[in-house]
Amino acid sequence: MPSGRWPHFCGDSLPCSGFDDIADVRWEGLGLSVAGWGLIDEDGHRSPELQVAYLPYVEIDQCISDASLDFRAYITSDKICAGYTNGTALCKGDSGGGLVFVKEEGQLQRHYLRGISSTAPNNNKLCNTHAIPTFTTYWRMSVSLKIN
């Protein structure tokens, strides 16, 4: 990777993680994305290339309502729901990936980290591609790390 500052990142290669300049950003309508090396389908196939998924934000009430009863306990106050139920999914091996959104600032596009890939409901397949995954809210996690 070439050295130097990338105009769409806050540092040399790190997404922005500050909160002061995005306090007014609403989740609804944001273009969220996450990258990962996890499985790419229900049968457990892998890709030799890093995969990126573009996901819609899902309101927490809708996420809980759509989740199976046994998974609802994992949708806690520190979670964000984002995704589809149409086959685009996070799978085993994607945990820990960053959920980011882009904010235009003049001619720059800054990528802001807002969540970490966390959990998704299981089914009888190697990957449940028809369920909404959850992400641990970066803000809550960073506060917890600072306190501890």
Can you give the pLDDT at residue 137?
87
Can you give the pLDDT at residue 10?
52
Closest CA to 53 of 126, 117, 10, 121: 117
Could you give all domains of the chain from N- to C-terminal order, each with its CATH number? Answer: 20-147 (2.40.10.10)
Question: How far is it, in rounded angstroms, from Cα 10 to Cα 61?
Answer: 33
Can you give the pLDDT at residue 58?
92
Can you give the pLDDT at residue 4?
33
State pLDDT tens for residues 9-49. 454 444 555 544 444 556 566 679 999 999 999 999 999 99
State pLDDT tens for residues 50-95. 999 999 999 999 999 999 999 999 999 899 999 998 988 899 999 8
Question: How far is it, in rounded angstroms, from Cα 134 to Cα 31?
Answer: 16
Helices vs strands, H then E, count in the chain? 2, 7
Question: How far is it, in rounded angstroms, from Cα 23 to Cα 105?
Answer: 14
How many whole angstroms from its chain centre is CA 106?
A: 25
Q: Do 101 and 30 form a contact (C-beta atoms < 8 A)? A: yes
Q: CB within 8 A of 107, min separation 6: which ones?
A: 7
The tokens describing 64, both together, are 């809980």
Question: How far is it, in rounded angstroms, from Cα 117 to Cα 135?
Answer: 5
User: Is the pTM value of this prediction over 0.85?
Assistant: no
Q: Which residue has the higher pLDDT, 118 or 14?
A: 118
